[in-house]
Every structure is written in structure tokens, then in C-alpha cells.
């Protein structure tokens, strides 16, 4: 039972890391595009911790599913010149795609070290096999010379 509980906790933590990367993609793209970000939140529900830095409220909430990056004018019309809907179409597109791009990048960052380790282990085994092969061949060759 404790083992299953740990798997659930581990899955929630991994999911939370992916959510943070995803929302961070939207956040960074919006900031770089000049769109006002009102709130950046990890998780959902009532806030456990909040901190206002500049125009953005950063928060951690209590239910460990989801997260959001609330941009000005994202849900409707806004008179703010830095609102999401007043940004150029290509900036809005980049902001929306940035979340998925960060998920892809997170996958690369997480899988490349595993691939490198696996490849290094396989190369090490190949080198050992080749070395053993030539060592055995040289022994056979030395025996042949001695017996001739």
C-alpha cells in the first residue's frame, strides 16, 4: 500500500514539473512579446502562497493539478494596449505554441541523458567485445607461431 502511495506521489510530482515547464513557456513568450501577464500560478484552487512582483502575481495553489498563466485580455476585450488580443497575430501564435514547445524541450532534456547513458554502456560493451576478440586472435596467432 505504501509503495502504491509513493507511485501516486511521484506521478503527481512529475506531472507538476511538466505543468510548470508548459506554463513557463507561455509566460516567457508573453513577457518577451510585451503582453501583460497578470498572474502565473502553479496548481489550482485556493492560493497557499502569493507574491506580487511588478505587474505579475506569482502564486502556488493547493490542488496539485494544472496551473495557469493569466494574460491581460486573454478572456475578452481589454483597453490595455499590452493585452493578449491586441498583440500581433504572430505574437499570439508564439505565445500559444510556447507551452507545447516547452513540453517538447522538457522531453528532450529528460530523455537525452538517459539515451547518452544507454549509448555509453552499449559502446563500452562493444569495445570490450572487440578487445576480447583481438586478444583471443593474438593468442591463437602466438600459439601458431610457437608450434610451427
Residues with catalytic function: 23
Cross-strand partners of 63: 44
DSSP structure class, residue 78: -
Measure Cα distances from 60 to 27, 43, 94 in Å.
15, 6, 25
CB atoms within 10 A of CB 64: 17
Amino acid at each position: 500500500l505504501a509503495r502504491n502511495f509513493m507511485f501516486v506521489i511521484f506521478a503527481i510530482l512529475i506531472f507538476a514539473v511538466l505543468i510548470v515547464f508548459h506554463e513557463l513557456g507561455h509566460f516567457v513568450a508573453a513577457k518577451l512579446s510585451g503582453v501583460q501577464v497578470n498572474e502565473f500560478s502553479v496548481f489550482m484552487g485556493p492560493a497557499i502562497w502569493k507574491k506580487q512582483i511588478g505587474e505579475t502575481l506569482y502564486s502556488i495553489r493547493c490542488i496539485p493539478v494544472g496551473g495557469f498563466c493569466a494574460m491581460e485580455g486573454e478572456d475578452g476585450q481589454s483597453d490595455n494596449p499590452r493585452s493578449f488580443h491586441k498583440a500581433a497575430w504572430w505574437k499570439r501564435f508564439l505565445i500559444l505554441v510556447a507551452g507545447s514547445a516547452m513540453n517538447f524541450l522538457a522531453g528532450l532534456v529528460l530523455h537525452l541523458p538517459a539515451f547518452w547513458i544507454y549509448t555509453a554502456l552499449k559502446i563500452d560493451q562493444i569495445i570490450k567485445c572487440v578487445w576480447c576478440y583481438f586478444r583471443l586472435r593474438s593468442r591463437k596467432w602466438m600459439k601458431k607461431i610457437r608450434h610451427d
